[in-house]
Amino acid sequence: MEKHLRRCSAALIIMAAILLSMWLPGTSATVKAATLSTPKVTGSAYNNVVTVKWTVPSNASAVELFRFEKNQYKLVKTFWKSKNVNTYKFTGDYCASYKFKVRAFIIKNGKRTYSGNGWSVVKTAPRRTYITTTKREKLSSGLVKWAVNTKADGYEIFRASSRNGNYTKVATVKSRNVSAVRDNTLKSSGTYYYRVRAYANNSNSKVYGGFGTTEQLNKYTAPATTGKNRKLLIVGDSRVAYMSNWCSDSKVSFIAKSNTGISWLSSTSVQNQILASLDGSTDIAVWIGTNDYDYIYSKYVAYYTSIIPKWKAKGANVYLVGLGQFLGGTDGYGGYNNDLVRFNAGLKTVAASLGARYVDLYSYLATTGYSYMSGDRVHFSQATTQAVFRFLVSAVGI
């Protein structure tokens, strides 16, 4: 009987130990039942549409998605495993960043046991990126600059040989703070066109901002051959005629006629006179247009397009000189200062497109304070004309 009681007591002790091990927190049986893997979360965006995806632990009852708003994570939705959903999509703002966390839970005996949190930050598309300047440096290279985009992680630069041609990515910049790239892969002296877009990095993808305006990189023009062996021919109307009387330099010659314009300049006789003066060591500067600047978009463009290649073929560096400012009211032809500004903008574009150099006389005179101060509000005084002459000689570098 005593032995039987000892056997029963031992059995009871063993059973109690087993039951106690199943009940006590931290035992292997409890941990195994409550273990949930942490969901893996990824995020992406297209323009301003955000997509969040996550993995669902095999033993989870559901997944909770939270979004960070007003300094705290707020529950967006509970996704029950029975619904078989692991994606959330919504339309947000451009240039924005959204933070998410995802956790799973299992329900046992009416109580929820949670997994760890999975995290993701999703960025939407940055704003458009605009090119600010382009500069042709060499035959094979040019510099492109753009405005920094503070919401970007980097930029992509595209190039084409025509404005509406096929654009190819030529560079990727992996920093938002870099705002210029030097393209050293140019193959010709022609004009190139560039576009830049910003991008933001997400979990496993990029989201792209739009392209700003397309900007051109001008044709390559070899540096002017200057120095004691070069000469300069200045061609123009009455302002140049006055200059020929008031200014002199052994390296400078003039072809000028008062009260003339594009009709005189483009005449066969003047063209032949100019071509005869270009001997391979003579450059040409044309300063004309004050009395018929309205023709810049028609007659001047057509003339320069046809004649500049001929001048360059004669070994000349070509300079197109802008018109100078006048102060107040209208000039002697009834035009306003804005008309001269418009003419100069067109002249600068023409020069760039034809491989000529634009001489910014307007800015020089504006800086010095010179203007059309003579009585007829068309011509410069002798002192101002002499200052213009020195400026031209310096700009050409003879």
Q: Please state the domain extents for the chain.
A: 37-123, 131-217, 231-396
- CATH architecture type of domain 37-123: Sandwich (2.60)
- pLDDT the model gives residue 331: 58
- Please, what is the angle between helix 337-354 and helix 301-313, to 10°? 40
On whether the CB atoms of residues 175 and 196 are closer than 8 A, the answer is: no
Q: Which CATH superfamily is domain 131-217 in?
A: Immunoglobulins (2.60.40.10)
- What's the pLDDT tens digit per position in 340-349? 788 888 889 8
Kindly give the parts of the chain with pLDDT less than 50: 1, 3-5, 8, 12-14, 16-33, 226, 373-375
Per-residue pLDDT at 20: 44
Q: Say what the pLDDT of residue 50 is.
A: 97
Q: What is the pLDDT of residue 222?
A: 67
The C-alpha atoms of residue 185 and residue 166 are separated, in whole angstroms, by 16
Check for a shared fold between 37-123 and 131-217: yes
Q: Which of 392, 311, 397, 391 is nearest to 351 (CA)?
A: 311
Q: What is the pLDDT of residue 359?
A: 94
Note the pLDDT of residue 175. 95
- Asked if residues 365 and 357 have their Cβ atoms less than 8 Å apart, the reply is no
Which CATH number applies to 231-396: 3.40.190.10, 3.40.50.300, 3.90.470.20, 3.40.50.1110?
Answer: 3.40.50.1110
Contacting residues for 342 by C-beta, under 8 A, at least 6 apart = 293, 296
Separation CA 369–CA 365 (nearest Å): 6
